[in-house]
Structure 1
């Protein structure tokens, strides 16, 4: 993917912006003072990881970042409840772009694209990088697949396709996140619905739920369960497995044939308490400093100037990527999630 090589200049742009604001008078000076107010970040990403991002931002810009962690759908519901008096400035991460797409018409996302992404095409190499009206921007790339414990499952035996997961031999040995709370699992559900059609997809999930021993709310919990031997197989993103592997746990990852490969975005919140601070944090997420932290946590950075530690590359997974019907997602996201609750909770 030929991402534009503009990300490395973001830090200098931010510095220049700060200098200009400091030199200005009247309204600009007031704006500069408001930028010292804390930034509130809502994120379902790993708490330790988001804390590291927040601390790096605070180190660079001397501005406090308060991180609130919860599952994607929980955070979306919270933002909807707070719509008349928003508490968040930035929403980062949601198991990929589908929850952001579904939120576009809810009136909770503001229009903002950092300068570093201004020249990006909306879609490149079949992967949507940003919203066409500026409601979100991708900051990294995720691959949905299967974690497994090599002490319990051999590489040869590990599932290679989504159909493999419903084999009766995995009964009681699989975990995946709860689609009512997790963006990771919502992506899994919507992908199957788009590819199979709803009737066949519900039949598929009847069997998958039968094989599950747990459906935790957190997107990363199933992979952690695999590491602890509480499950043989887990549905999750690539970086979740490699984080555990780096910690010395017995976890490996399979990129299944035909699976979602998509950006994980960030968005400015409409009428958030600190919009200028929120914009600065959005800019920061596309800077080399933030992209390097993502890479060090085994995420696939969207910047082509930063090299990730993960063995999975965008180039290596392109052939497995499925095309996502974003319009269908926007029309059916809430209905499908509600039906999941009725069927399985």
Structure 2
């Protein structure tokens, strides 16, 4: 489900199940985005509007839902700028839902970007897990710890194929255990799993309230929730059987919508979000990391992100290969957890 946020400066819209947003004007840019960056968006969109006079209409959902909406609206596009986690931005590009644009400053992005200009990382981020230690009594040390019967009905992770973070869980386990090993593990974990969730963000309040004890997430969104919402959980990175902790780079990645109603405004907004000015603020305002290699913030939040991931290996996935295998992998996953 698409989420409506109440931001004082940003014009927002909820998309009905069978309709789109109202027609965009030259003074409005519509952004479809994976959830998690609302705090950064609020401040940056306000600054962008002051600089350009262009207002921003924001709609948030899970990464898979964003691409699904683009598919449904292909004959009548509504989005000017698209932001998702991988591999969904690659999926959008492969299906002709994005149009190439060489964003200013992309030469400074050393991470995820498309040579043809279909997409470029805008905020670096990593897969993480969260636990309510007061309810769980301890912080799980490994993935195998999560198989303990004491967690029955107390674990939930966002659904692979629908949410970017959930897809990252499947991919990380594949990289650690092999494809069949990942399926075997998730099949066992299903005994403790509450059920599917299309949005990772919706799991945070459930863990904080103690409705569930453990969920997946991402570093940026989780740290922001702890700081801003006083969420009662902490981050952890489950170890492999050999004791090694690793995570996956899953940057928020943006592209220009194909046949965008306001492509000129969309390009201006993308240039701004990747500008040095905007990138300097992403940790302070939202606990993200700059996508630009030439930007190194000095704020406390930047230090907190570094501290949270200390000693954790960051894996860079081959997203082209991930996308090629995605449908088959998701189908195999669905069969495995269905028993």
Q: Which moved more, 1:53-62 or 1:237-246?
A: 53-62
Q: 5+ residue gaps in structure 1?
A: 1-33, 122-127
Q: CA RMSD in A?
A: 2.6
What's the CA shift string for 1:99-148, capped at 9, x where partnerless?
A: 22233321112112322122544xxxxxx331222221111111112111
The question of whether the paired residues in 2 share the 8 Å contact of 1:227 and 1:244 is answered with: no
- Specify which of 315, 318, 335 is matched with residue 322 of structure 1: 315
Matched residue, 2:288: 299
Determine the C-alpha separation between the residues in 2 that align with 1:318 and 1:137.
27
Offset, 1:314: 8.7
What's the CA shift string for 1:29-75, capped at 9, x where partnerless?
A: xxxxx994311100122374344443332233210211122221111
Matched residue, 2:306: 313
Matched residue, 1:248: 230
Matched residue, 2:330: 337
Does residue 259 (structure 1) correspond to residue 242 (structure 2)? The answer is: no
- Specify which of 201, 204, 211 is matched with residue 220 of structure 1: 201
Determine the C-alpha separation between the residues in 1 that align with 2:142 and 2:50.
44
How do 1:32-71 and structure 2 match up within 5 A? 36-46=26-36, 48-49=38-39, 50-71=41-62
How do 1:270-289 and structure 2 match up within 5 A? 270-289=258-277
How do 1:1-345 and structure 2 match up within 5 A? 36-46=26-36, 48-49=38-39, 50-94=41-85, 97-121=86-110, 128-154=111-137, 157-246=138-227, 247-256=229-238, 257-295=245-283, 296-303=285-292, 304-307=295-298, 309-310=301-302, 311-313=304-306, 316-317=309-310, 319-341=312-334, 344=337
Determine the C-alpha separation between the residues in 2 that align with 1:263 and 1:212.
26
Determine the C-alpha separation between the residues in 1 that align with 2:309 and 2:235.
14
Closer, same or farther in 2 for the Cα pair 1:114/1:265, shift >3 Å?
same
Q: Which structure has the bigger radius of gyration?
A: 1
- Indicate the SS of the match to 1:40: strand
The question of whether the paired residues in 2 share the 8 Å contact of 1:180 and 1:338 is answered with: no
- Indicate the SS of the match to 2:252: strand
What's the CA shift string for 1:232-289, capped at 9, x where partnerless?
A: 1111101222222213232211134122124221111122111111111111111344
Offset, 1:196: 2.5
The question of whether the paired residues in 1 share the 8 Å contact of 2:287 and 2:305 is answered with: no
The question of whether the paired residues in 1 share the 8 Å contact of 2:186 and 2:337 is answered with: no
TM-score of the pair, normalised by structure 2: 0.79
- Indicate the SS of the match to 2:194: strand
The question of whether the paired residues in 2 share the 8 Å contact of 1:93 and 1:266 is answered with: yes
Structure number having the greater helix percentage: 1
Aligned residues: 302
- Indicate the SS of the match to 1:164: helix
Determine the C-alpha separation between the residues in 2 that align with 1:38 and 1:253.
37
Determine the C-alpha separation between the residues in 2 that align with 1:159 and 1:260.
19
TM-score of the pair, normalised by structure 1: 0.78
Runs of 4+ in structure 1 over 6 Å off = none
- Indicate the SS of the match to 1:161: coil
The question of whether the paired residues in 1 share the 8 Å contact of 2:64 and 2:164 is answered with: yes
The question of whether the paired residues in 2 share the 8 Å contact of 1:226 and 1:251 is answered with: yes
Matched residue, 1:23: none
